[in-house]
Amino acid sequence: MVDQKLLDILVCPENKTPVKLADDALLAKVNAAIADGTLKNRAGDAVTDAIDGGLVREDQAFLYIIRDDIPVMLIDESIPLDQLQ
């Protein structure tokens, strides 16, 4: 689990808005899209590994994956959530 002190200071690297932990329902949708082979990150690369955590931008537009309790706050690695229909 990501330390709360770190969560309190993290912001989106693109527009500097706050991020919050993704809830279980969103993670389930993301993982279903990964399993279907339909999910791509902002760079256009397929996301192939299931995730167990993520940070969602305040406007709910993008998700930043958490890997091994480390948030990956790279713009190109973020997942556009408009893919989840």
Q: What is the pLDDT of residues 12-67, one digit of tens each?
A: 999 999 999 999 999 999 999 999 999 999 999 999 999 999 999 999 999 999 99
pTM for the structure as a whole: 0.93
**Alpha-carbon gap, residue 61 to 17, rounded angstroms:** 11
Residue 30 CB: number of other CB atoms within 10 A? 22
Q: What angle do CA 27, 62, 77 make, to 5 degrees?
A: 90
**Token digits of residue 17:** 């808005």
Residue 17 structural domain: 4-83
* Pairwise CA distance, residues 78 & 3, whole Å: 20
Under the banding of pLDDT at 50, 70 and 90, the label for residue 4 is confident
| Number of structural domains the chain divides into | 1
DSSP 67: E
